[in-house]
Chain A
Amino acid sequence: MSALATEATILPNRPGLTGRISDFLWKHPYVLLAVLLGPPVLWLGIIYLGSLFALLLQSFFSIDDFSGLINYEFTLATYKQLLSDANFDIIVRTVLMAATVTLFSALIAFPIAYYAARYAKGKWKAVFYLGVMLPLWSSYLVKIYAWKLILAKEGILTWAFTKLNLLWLLDGWLALPIIGGNSLSVSYTGTFLVFVYVWMPFMILPIQAALERVPGNLIEASSDLGGTPQQTFRHVLFPLALPGIVAGSIFTFSLTLGDYIIPQIVGSSRLFIGQAVYAQQGTAGNIPLAAAFTVVPIVIMGLYLWMAKRMGAFDAL
């Protein structure tokens, strides 16, 4: 240790470049902060927010009907066009679909989350966690493809209904107006099933997180006070899980609102917002209208997030 027994109390400056940089950054912590924050903020601020604002700006321009060129003058004409009957139908259809998908996702997700949070222990906890994480992270397109296999006329679903002698039920369902169709893969029912399948895992995790924060003795306290399991669920568990459900619904709602690939592959020919955006910017070349369409999910999600925040949903994220 003798080599270390320096007499100086304040050691000299570190030699070399790293020593000098280190000293400089220590003396100027704001430089360090700027070095750390600069690249990500510039990247997201310029590339991402810049593009986003440029897009939103375009929704205030209009397209010249004859030349097909963009007329760079401020106008609300595009928004008027957005609210025309045909386009408004698209918006209503998408919002209804997103709401239904969210509702059913919550119904299916709740038991899984509840079981995983309160009953699964040790190995089963890991099984449940991975059992949700793997489908959540695995390929989006392959998941849609799997449903194309399932919903096809010659696929497993028809086969199962035939084996169970329930084919009449399936045919009856498909004969219903609006939700029916020629086959499941070209009906709203099909679109709905795929949406629920693909986005439901996003609902499970926040509910599970919220339920895991409910102390076990709270539930025992409720039973001790004479609460039946149903009462305990309604008055204790459900209110405490609600922020988790709202947090999950942010995902399912937002993801459904903006998706254009699922309804394109499984569904009828009637458009959803995402498809309308895609069609307007692509084949129609009407960037202003496409931009105006993208404003719709942004506004809806903004309202939704505002309400969710008031319900305390962000603590469950």
Chain B
Amino acid sequence: MTAAVLFENVSRHFGPVKAVDAVDLEVAAGEFFAMLGPSGSGKTTCLRLMAGFEQPTHGHIEIFGETAEGVPPYRRSVNTVFQDYALFPHLSILDNVAYGLMVKGVGKEERRKAAEDALAMVKLPGYGTRKPGQLSGGQRQRVALARALVNKPKVLLLDEPLGALDLKLREQMQEELKSLQKSLGITFVFVTHDQGEALSMADRIAVFNDGRIQQLGTPEDIYKRPQTRFVADFVGSSNVLSSATCAKLGIPSAAASLRPEAITIGTSWAEQLSLPGKVTARSFLGAVNRVSVDCNGEKIIVTSPAAMPVPDIGADVQLAFSRNDLHLMEEA
């Protein structure tokens, strides 16, 4: 099956800045794909390369098997939900949604009906006569979604779609987007800097840093088995053990990641690994306690269920964890 989006060794340079640097990427058809990374990591430029707002400096891009370089945005069956929504302020909501059909020459009655259907799909029926300025942020976001989906795009691009919404609305929209994507079967590619959003929504995640993909995999892969220190730091907050600590555990490796919730304090079973250390800080976070332990100069964070007793600051403790939870990384 052809990939929805294919990047082969794609770079986009702005003068001396390598915004995207030799990226290889394959988004499968019907997939919910997330590009995760801090600002300036190249994820948004990748999205703009897919939309056609940017052209690659080197490399090759295909959308459903067709070459996309040199094809303007208006000839791609790809639509975008913009971060600031970019609704046309001078047009009514209905005309905003019908815009794509209008410029393609669809008849007035037909496009009105299609736009109304699309508005109903995003749960805004009857809002057509209003102007964008009269809607709330969440409503504008839905209009932007309807405006893109009414064109039946092959790929829908979402640029930080939930960034401007408050927490509660964001969680609600996450679920709606996910179910919308399932029911429509359209390939969604979305950009976010929020790892929680990426983990909960995406089928697969590409983690970006400095214009390169650090790791590409399922949310579980990314979360449990970070391959680089950057991914371990950025996605959640894994402990990264140095090569010296690894050596002490009898494992030859440049570095290894260890999730805080995989560690227990105190008793270790025979088959478990253990490290001695001293408690330096502790805080109560509701469901869990968060304990900082100094192991020979290396700070290790442990989260333990709130029901478990917590040692006092300054106490000497043993940290125990399974070998399977320790993930070796190629680089320090």
In the complex, A touching B, CB below 8 Å? yes
A6 on interface, CB distance cutoff 8 Å: yes
Binary interface encoding of chain B residues 103-114 relative to chain A, with 1 for a CB under 8 A from any of its CBs, else 0: 010100010001
Cα(A104)–Cα(B18), bound, Å: 56
Min distance, Cβ A317 to any Cβ of chain B, angstroms: 27
Task: Determine which of B63, B64, B70, B104 lies in contact with A4 in the assembled complex, contact meaning CB atoms within 8 Å.
Answer: B104
Cα(A14)–Cα(B114), bound, Å: 23
* A9 and B72 form a contact (CB under 8 A): no
B66 on interface, CB distance cutoff 8 Å: yes
Binary interface encoding of chain A residues 1-38 relative to chain B, with 1 for a CB under 8 A from any of its CBs, else 0: 10111101111111000000011001100000000000
* A6 and B77 form a contact (CB under 8 A): yes
Min distance, Cβ B29 to any Cβ of chain A, angstroms: 11
* B63 and A9 form a contact (CB under 8 A): yes
B101 on interface, CB distance cutoff 8 Å: yes
Binary interface encoding of chain A residues 118-152 relative to chain B, with 1 for a CB under 8 A from any of its CBs, else 0: 00000000000000000000000000000000000
- Candidate in B66, B71, B75 with the most chain A CB atoms within 10 angstroms: B75
* A11 and B106 form a contact (CB under 8 A): no
- Candidate in A4, A9, A13, A27 with the most chain B CB atoms within 10 angstroms: A9
Chain B residue with the shortest CB-CB distance to A6: B77
For window 86-144 of A, CB contacts with B under 8 Å fall at none
Cα(A19)–Cα(B226), bound, Å: 48
Task: Find chain A residues with CB under 8 A from B151 CB.
Answer: 4
* B77 and A10 form a contact (CB under 8 A): yes
Task: Find chain A residues with CB under 8 A from B104 CB.
Answer: 4
Cα(A4)–Cα(B115), bound, Å: 13
For window 37-87 of B, CB contacts with A under 8 Å fall at 63-68, 70-72, 75-78
Cα(A13)–Cα(B152), bound, Å: 19
* A10 and B68 form a contact (CB under 8 A): yes
Min distance, Cβ A59 to any Cβ of chain B, angstroms: 43
Task: Find chain B residues with CB under 8 A from A8 CB.
Answer: 66, 77
Task: Find chain A residues with CB under 8 A from B72 CB.
Answer: 22-23, 26-27
Cα(A26)–Cα(B151), bound, Å: 22
* A3 and B66 form a contact (CB under 8 A): no
Cα(A305)–Cα(B65), bound, Å: 59
* B71 and A10 form a contact (CB under 8 A): yes
Cα(A10)–Cα(B66), bound, Å: 7
Chain B residue with the shortest CB-CB distance to A14: B75
* A10 and B70 form a contact (CB under 8 A): no
Min distance, Cβ A314 to any Cβ of chain B, angstroms: 27
If over half of B's interface residues share one DSSP class (helix, strand or loop), that class is named, otherwise mixed; here it is loop
Per the CB 8 Å criterion, the residue count for chain B at the interface is: 23
Binary interface encoding of chain A residues 207-220 relative to chain B, with 1 for a CB under 8 A from any of its CBs, else 0: 00000000000000
* A4 and B75 form a contact (CB under 8 A): no
For window 146-166 of B, CB contacts with A under 8 Å fall at 150-152, 154
For window 139-177 of A, CB contacts with B under 8 Å fall at none
Min distance, Cβ B28 to any Cβ of chain A, angstroms: 15
* A13 and B101 form a contact (CB under 8 A): no
Cα(A225)–Cα(B66), bound, Å: 68
Task: Determine which of A3, A6, A23, A26 lies in contact with B110 in the assembled complex, contact meaning CB atoms within 8 Å.
Answer: A3
* A11 and B152 form a contact (CB under 8 A): no
Task: Find chain A residues with CB under 8 A from B68 CB.
Answer: 10
Task: Find chain B residues with CB under 8 A from A9 CB.
Answer: 63-66, 76-78, 154
Chain A residue with the shortest CB-CB distance to B77: A9
Task: Find chain A residues with CB under 8 A from B101 CB.
Answer: 1, 4
Task: Find chain A residues with CB under 8 A from B71 CB.
Answer: 10
* B66 and A4 form a contact (CB under 8 A): no
- Candidate in B63, B65, B71 with the most chain A CB atoms within 10 angstroms: B71
Cα(A111)–Cα(B72), bound, Å: 55
- Candidate in A10, A11, A13 with the most chain B CB atoms within 10 angstroms: A10
Min distance, Cβ A19 to any Cβ of chain B, angstroms: 9
Task: Find chain B residues with CB under 8 A from A23 CB.
Answer: 72, 75
Chain A residue with the shortest CB-CB distance to B65: A9
Chain B residue with the shortest CB-CB distance to A9: B64
Cα(A12)–Cα(B72), bound, Å: 11
Task: Find chain A residues with CB under 8 A from B65 CB.
Answer: 9
* A10 and B152 form a contact (CB under 8 A): no
Min distance, Cβ B126 to any Cβ of chain A, angstroms: 20
Task: Determine which of A3, A5, A13 lies in contact with B75 in the assembled complex, contact meaning CB atoms within 8 Å.
Answer: A13
Task: Find chain B residues with CB under 8 A from A1 CB.
Answer: 101, 110, 114, 117, 150, 152
Chain A residue with the shortest CB-CB distance to B115: A1
Cα(A26)–Cα(B67), bound, Å: 17
Chain B residue with the shortest CB-CB distance to A8: B77
Cα(A6)–Cα(B106), bound, Å: 13
* B106 and A5 form a contact (CB under 8 A): no
* A3 and B77 form a contact (CB under 8 A): no
Cα(A230)–Cα(B308), bound, Å: 66
Min distance, Cβ B97 to any Cβ of chain A, angstroms: 12
* B114 and A11 form a contact (CB under 8 A): no
A to B CB contacts below 8 Å, 10 in the list = A3-B106, A5-B152, A6-B77, A8-B66, A9-B64, A9-B78, A10-B77, A11-B76, A12-B75, A22-B72
Top 6 nearest A-B pairs by Cβ distance? A9-B64, A26-B72, A11-B75, A10-B66, A1-B114, A9-B77
Further contacts, 13 of them, CB under 8 A, given A1-B117, A10-B68? A1-B110, A1-B114, A3-B106, A4-B106, A4-B152, A5-B152, A9-B63, A9-B77, A10-B67, A10-B75, A11-B75, A11-B77, A14-B75
